[in-house]
Copies of this chain bind each other. A is one copy, B any other.
Amino acid sequence: MPKGTKQVAIIRIEDGRRKRVEDVVVKESPLTIVFNGQQLVTLLCSPEKLDCLAAGFLFSEGLIGSRKDIKSLDVDEKRGVVWIETKTGKMPSDDFLSKRYITTGCGKGTSFLDLPRGKLKRIKSEIRLSPSQISALMKEFQERSATHKETGGVHSAALANAKGIVIFSEDIGRHSAIDKILGECVLKGISMKNRIILTSGRISSEILMKTARAAIPVIIAKSAPTDMGVSIAEKSGVTLVGFARGKRMNVYSNERRIRD
């Protein structure tokens, strides 16, 4: 049984016949992030890599920039709490939460309203990828997701370069799966430069904002984008590839990075 799953007794019905069987479902748990002594937020997530999720969430929200900003990080896996103290000890503004967008998926409500497009630097990476490299990456990506195969209940995300996957993560939320990736990069000092995000989920505006903030030049998704996702990708210089399935894919923006 993969990590992060639980056995439950269910009734399976097939063609009207009932059978009592044991099935595997994915676990969901609360994670409370205490930031500089103040309870910031509680996420519902898959209870793995809590330190990465907390760091990635704070990175996505602009509350930390790199490992150097973190003074201490403590995890209580059992209670689902991560305490992070930063060197500056600065708190987010009072309206940090009230200004958050409550969003389309997996609820990582980025402070999008507060982030004028102008603040996003246009990404200038010279990475180039061929369609066959993209197909190979997505093949490796799908082979990695044991929990998804077992339960159908999680999203996957990965950081990759043209040759293969560097970091892989899973979460019941598509936003948290990506935050776990970004957080692992932050905590371990792994470079995100000239790298690629792979995701099983749909590409809404927030997912693109996370990619753009991390200055990651390419995002490849198995699923569809929204119009707002496409528009942010265009403006921030991210190459957005959607519906990447087998040897097919759609390039929605900045196609210059897709070589023959």
Binding site for B on A (CB under 8 A): 6, 8, 10-16, 23, 25-30, 39, 41-45, 97-98, 100-109, 112-113, 131-132, 151-153, 171-176, 202, 204-206, 223-230, 243, 247-252, 255, 258, 260
Contact = CB atoms under 8 A, between A and B. Distances in A.
A113 to B, nearest CB: 7
A176 to B, nearest CB: 7
A172 B16 contact: no
Contacts of A97: 97-98, 100
Contacts of A151: 224
Given A14-B248, A153-B224, A206-B44, A109 B106 contact: no
A28 B228 contact: yes
Given A14-B247, A152-B223, A152-B224, 16 more contacts: A12-B250, A25-B225, A26-B224, A30-B113, A39-B98, A44-B102, A44-B112, A101-B107, A102-B107, A103-B107, A105-B107, A105-B174, A106-B107, A152-B202, A153-B202, A153-B224
A152 B223 CA distance: 7
Contacts of A251: 10-13
B102 A252 contact: no
A10 to B, nearest CB: 5
Contact of A25 (B28, B43, B104, B227): B227
Contact of A43 (B102, B175, B225, B243): B102
A15 B172 CA distance: 32
Contacts of A15: 247
Contacts of A6: 227
A91 to B, nearest CB: 13
Contact of A227 (B27, B113, B131, B258): B27
Given A10-B250, A97-B97, A250-B12, A44 B106 contact: no
A103 B205 CA distance: 17
A255 B107 contact: no
Question: Which among A30, A104, A223, A230 has the highest number of chain B CB atoms within 10 Å?
Answer: A104
In the A-B complex, the 9 residue pairs with the closest CB atoms: A107-B107, A153-B224, A28-B226, A152-B224, A28-B228, A103-B107, A11-B251, A104-B173, A104-B172
A240 to B, nearest CB: 9
